[in-house]
Amino acid sequence: MKFKESIGHGFNNYAEFEGRETLSTFWWWILFVTLVSAVLETKEGLIIFQDLWSIAILLPNISSAVRRLHDVNRSGWYLLIPIYNVILLCQRGTVGENRFGSAPLS
């Protein structure tokens, strides 16, 4: 997926914890969240927007990471393991179908 499509996918699947998510979709979403957060951090007087953004984006971040872990055939509970979860989030997904569903479209 491209950058804009990944952002739309992230917001459209706001609290969807089932299914799988491709590597590129996940990392484009993380890039978007990081860029918006960085812009809000650099602007003085936007503390309320920083807080609102952090709260609003918490659930989609978790759901996106859970779907990404599903793509590597792991449970979402692996998010609770500090460094291992980052390693899993960087791995390629399972080719074809796994226990969490069919492979997502690229």
Token look-up 């569903």 returns 101
Tens place of pLDDT per residue across the chain (106 aa): 789 999 999 999 989 999 999 999 999 999 999 999 999 988 877 788 899 999 999 999 999 999 999 999 999 999 999 999 999 999 999 888 999 988 887 6
Q: Is the pTM of this model over 0.95?
A: no
Distance in angstroms (rounded) separating the CA atoms of residues 58 and 50: 12
Query: Where are the chain's structural domains?
Result: 3-89
